[in-house]
């Protein structure tokens, strides 16, 4: 049995809106919560958002905070779940773009699955990166300057990316490993400064 990695105390921002792919929100969030992370759902609007199971509405989720209140310095990592409707709406949201830019500039980990790389494309972050995504957006990712690979999960520096719901077990493992490594590195830096 694999050793459970503790993310106790890690604060993870989850950016999403209506049309998020249900499994890509529910399963990674559950894995983060079980590892001890504190997750916060940010959306452009307050209230509830609905999720999709491919083409059908699936569930509703309470929004914790609106995107205009998201501050990157208050979080250790970010999760971007997919879903075409969700990702297509978020990619043009200026606050979402700025949030991921700030997280990446600070070297904080970003976990992204399915169509969610559209936000990283629109935020002008993918040039020179190696990543994967849902196969239908590979041209967008490549045209923005990234090297795209058709693998279930891919790690590149502070990013982990994955293709689709069937890859979620591998994505969850890689995401938790990345977040835990970032936490350990931050703790070591803090000890050296003290």
Burial of 19 (0-12, 13-18, 19+ CB in 10 A): buried
Its pTM stands at: 0.94
pLDDT in tens, 140-165: 999 999 999 999 999 999 999 999 99
Residue 109, helix vs strand vs coil: coil
- Name the architecture of domain 11-193: 3-Layer(aba) Sandwich (3.40)
Burial of 94 (0-12, 13-18, 19+ CB in 10 A): exposed
Q: Which of 55, 115, 135, 182 is catalytic?
A: 115
135 is catalytic: no
* C-alpha triplet 92, 78, 192: angle, nearest 5°: 135
Tell me the percentage of the chain whose pLDDT exceeds 90. 88
């Amino acid at each position: 049995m694999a050793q459970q990695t503790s993310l106790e105390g890690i604060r993870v921002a989850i950016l999403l809106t209506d049309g998020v792919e249900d499994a890509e929100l529910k399963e990674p969030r559950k894995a983060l919560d079980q590892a001890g992370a504190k997750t916060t759902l940010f959306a452009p609007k307050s209230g509830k958002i609905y999720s999709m199971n491919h083409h059908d509405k699936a569930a509703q989720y309470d929004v914790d905070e609106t995107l205009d209140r998201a501050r990157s310095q208050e979080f250790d990592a970010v999760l971007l779940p997919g879903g075409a409707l969700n990702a297509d709406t978020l990619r043009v949201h200026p606050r979402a773009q700025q949030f991921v830019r700030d997280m990446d500039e600070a070297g904080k980990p970003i976990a992204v699955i399915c169509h969610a790389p559209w936000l990283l494309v629109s935020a002008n972050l993918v040039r020179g990166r190696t990543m994967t995504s849902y196969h239908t957006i590979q041209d967008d990712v490549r045209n923005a300057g990234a090297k795209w690979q058709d693998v279930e999960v891919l790690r590149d520096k502070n990013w982990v990316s994955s293709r689709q719901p069937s890859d979620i077990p591998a994505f969850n493992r890689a995401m938790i490993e990345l977040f835990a490594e970032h936490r350990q590195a931050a703790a070591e830096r803090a000890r050296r400064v003290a």
